[in-house]
Structure 1
Amino acid sequence: MKKYLVLVIVLFSFTQIFAQETRFGVRGGLNLSNFFADEPDDTNLRPGFNVGLTTKTALIEDMFYLQAELGYTTKGSKVEGDLGEASLNLGYIDLPLMASVSFANLINLEGGMYAAYLVNTSVSGETSNGVNFSDDISSDNFKKFDYGLVGGANIELQPLTIGVRYHYGLQNIMDDDVANYLGDDVRNSVFQLYVALSF
C-alpha cells in the first residue's frame, strides 16, 4: 500500500510543477459489476457504488488532460440458483490514471489504467425460502492487488461532470478455495455511472 501512496504523491507533485491548470473535485456514482474469465458477461450484474477524489490537469490547454483519482469502489458478482441468490461483495481502494481529450470543452473521451487494493470482502443474499443472510468472508481467498484498463466518456457542465466508465480487469483475482467454485482465472468487470463536482 505504501508504494501506491508514494505513486500518488509523485504524480500530484509532477502535475503541479508542469501543468498549466489543475482542477480538484469529488465524484460518486453507481457500479454494475461482474466476474469474467474469457469475455465480459452482462448477466448477473451486481449493483454497487463508487466515491472518490479527482484531479484534472491541463497538459495542452482546452484539449488534452491528465486525470488522477483516488477513491473507494465496490466490485463483485451476483449468483442465482435453485437455492436462492447470493452477491459476492469486494471493496477496493481504487487509483485510475487516465489521459483525456476534450472536444469543444464539453465532451471528453478518457482512457488509461487502474490499480486497486482489496480492503474488504463479504457475501449476502436471500435463500429460496425467503431468508436473508449477510456475512464477512476471508480476504485470503482473493489476491489483494487488482489492475486493468479503464475507458469512458463524460459531458462537462462546469462545475458538474456526468460520465460513464468501464473497468476491464487484467488480473486473476482468485487466490484460494473460492477458485474451485468460480474458476481458475476470474477477473473484474465494472460499468460505472458517475457525477463529479470540481472546485
Structure 2
Amino acid sequence: MKKRLKQLTYALVLGLMAFTAQAQESVFGVKGGLNLSNFFTENVDDENLRTGLNFGVYSRSPLISEVLYLQVELGYSGKGAKLEGNGGELELGLGYLELPILASLGFGDLLFVEGGAYASYLLNANISGENSFGEFSDDISTDNFKDFDYGLAVGANVNLSPLVVGVRYYYGLQDIIENDFAQFAGIEARNSTFQAYVAFEF
C-alpha cells in the first residue's frame, strides 16, 4: 500500500510540474465526457466495448503563436472491457489517473488536431455483470494489473470558445495484466479507448 501511495505521489507531482511550467500565457480548461474502451487481445471483438467516464483539467500554451501548442492534461479515465464468461457476460472496469501530453496544431483558432503520449496510474478495479444467480458487482484487487499504463494519443477538437467539443483515441503500449491473474493467464491485453468530450475554457 505504501508503495502504491508513493507511486501515486510521484505521478501527481509530475502532473503539477507540467501544469506549472505552462502557467504563463496559457489557456486553462475543464473537460468531461464518455469513454468507449476495449482490450487489445488475441481475439479483439468490437462488440465488447465498455462505457466509462472521463473528466479532468488541462492547460494549453503556444509554442508557435497561433499555430502550434503544447497541451497538458490531468484527469480520471474509466477504461476496461466487456468479457464473455461462464454462464453470462461481465464488465471489467479500470479507473486511471491519466496524464496526456500533446502537441496541438491549430487551424484558424477553430480546428485543432493533436497527437502525443499519455501515462496513467491505476486507481481502482471492479467487476460487474449478470449470471444465472442474478446481477453482481464487486471491487477486485488492483494487484491483478500493472500499476502504470502508457501509450499514444491522437485526436481533434472544434473550439467554439469558451466551449470545446472533441474526440480522441488512446492506444495502449503496455500489457496491463499481471501474470498471476488466473482469468487472463498467458494472455496479453492492452488498453484501447475512444473518447468523446466537452470542455469549457477560461
TM-score by length of 2: 0.89
Structure 1 residue 146 corresponds to structure 2 residue 153: no
C-alpha distance 186-56 of structure 1, shift in aligned 2 (>3 A) = same
Q: Is the 8 A contact 1:48 1:75 kept in 2?
A: yes
Which residue number in structure 1 is paired with residue 176 of structure 2? Answer: 173
Structure 2 residue aligned with 1:9: 16
Identity of aligned residues (%): 53
- The one-letter code sitting in structure 2 at the alignment partner of 1:119 is L
Tell me what 1:48 maps to. 52
Taking only aligned residues, the RMSD between alpha carbons, in angstroms, comes to 1.8
Q: Residue deviations 1:151-173, cap 9 Å, x none?
A: 10111100010000000000010
Q: Which residue is equivalent to 1:28?
A: 32
Match of 1:114 among 109, 118, 138: 118
Q: Once the 2 structures are TM-superposed, how far is the Cα of residue 108 of structure 1 from its aligned partner?
A: 0.6
Instruction: State whether residues 112 and 151 of structure 1, in contact with CA within 8 Å, keep that contact through their aligned partners in structure 2.
Output: yes
The offset of 1:81, in angstroms, is 4.9
Following superposition, the deviation at residue 105 of structure 1 comes to: 1.1
Q: How does 1:58-69 map to 2 (within 5 A)?
A: 58-69=62-73
Q: Secondary structure of the residue that 1:55 maps to in structure 2? A: strand
Cα displacement (A) at 1:84 = 1.3
* 1:59 maps to amino acid: L
Whether 1:187 and 2:194 are equivalent positions in the alignment is no
Distance 1:176 1:13, change over 3 A: same
* TM-score, normalising length: structure 1: 0.91
> Once the 2 structures are TM-superposed, how far is the Cα of residue 3 of structure 1 from its aligned partner?
2.7
Cα gap change, 1:51 to 1:137, in 2 (>3 Å): same
Of 158, 161, 166, the residue aligned with 2:164 is 161
Q: Aligned equivalents of 1:46 and 1:182: distance in 2?
A: 21
- Deviation (angstroms), 1:40: 6.2
SS of the residue corresponding to residue 26 of structure 2 reads strand
- 8 Å Cα contact 1:140/1:176 also seen in 2: no
> Matched residues in 2 for 1:126 and 1:179: separation?
20
Structure 1 residue aligned with 2:82: 78
**CA–CA distance in 2 between the matches of 1:147 and 1:179?**
23
Rounded Cα–Cα distance in structure 1 between residues aligned with 2:43 and 2:164: 30
Distance 2:185 2:165 in 1: 34
The offset of 1:174, in angstroms, is 0.6
Q: Give the Å deviation of 1:59.
A: 1.5
TM superposition shift of 1:184 = 2.9
1:40–1:189 Cα contact (<8 Å) kept:
no
Q: Deviations over 1:105-136 (max 9, x none)?
A: 11110000000000101100111x47110011
> Hey, what's the Cα distance between the residues in 1 that align with 2:21 and 2:96?
25
Q: What CA deviation, in whole Å up to 9, does each residue of 1:143-195 have, x standing for no partner?
A: 10000000101111000100000000000101143365364321000000000
- Which amino acid letter does the alignment assign opposite residue 161 of structure 1? V
Aligned 1:82-101 pairs, distance under 5 A:
83-101=87-105
Change in CA separation of 1:82 and 1:185 when aligned onto 2, cut-off 3 Å: closer
Give the secondary-structure state (helix, strand or coil) at the position aligned to 2:176: coil
